[in-house]
Amino acid sequence: MSLALLGGFAAAAVLFGGTTNIRLTENDKGRPGEEISRTSTDRLSTYVVGLLGFLTPPLLGLAGAYLVLAGQAWSVRWVVLVLLFVAYLKTRDMFTTVIVLLLGAGIGWVAVRGDPELQAGVAVALVWLLLLGAISVLVRTRRSDAGKTNAASGSGESKKTSDLTPGPLGLALVWFVAILALWVGGRRLLGI
């Protein structure tokens, strides 16, 4: 799962209350995964947190494409740093904390000390990761939903994460936004 998705879940959780914890994991095949657990008595806020979490990467990627082309690449790096900070506030284990801090330190160093070409290159790479990562997350979520019967045997996605997946209508909206953002943002970045 992309860090923007984790940051999106964390930011939405801060806005809508309840307790949301983020932990990076590894499944039985050695593939990285994640666990996002949410404790809330309000089903609507849990649905909204899930929907906003999944919509965050494609919308940030699309906005980032326009910002990079407008000469505002610095803002992409700082938005990612803010999302990493919010994700850091919601992490609950040492491994996840270290990963988030290392990524934040690397992007922060580039933002403060990197030369303009490196800063622009990192911003463009982050935008592509956001745009492509949104599709990747949806494909993995779909695989996870198809394999829910194997969840007890340790499938790639956590059962708790799949509980935040919006229903069919919400997932259709997320797919539409992700594909549209990739189409429009990718064409802008490629100069088509």
How confident is the model over 117-176, as pLDDT tens digits?
998 999 999 899 888 877 776 776 665 555 554 444 444 433 344 556 677 787 888 889
32 sits in which H/E element:
strand 32-39
For residues 42 and 115, the model is more confident at 115
- Contacts by 70-74, CB closer than 8 A, 24 or more apart: 73/119, 73/120, 73/123, 73/124, 74/111, 74/119, 74/123
Higher-confidence residue: 118 or 19? 118
Question: pTM for the whole thing?
Answer: 0.71
Type of residue found at 170 = G
Is the pLDDT assigned to residue 40 strictly greater than 60? no
- Asked if 56 and 129 touch (Cβ cutoff 8 Å), the reply is no
Q: How far is CA 102 from the centre of its chain?
A: 17
Residues 56/48, Cβ–Cβ less than 8 Å? no
Mean pLDDT of the chain: 74
The confidence score (pLDDT) of residue 154 equals 43
pLDDT in tens, 89-109: 777 778 878 888 998 999 999
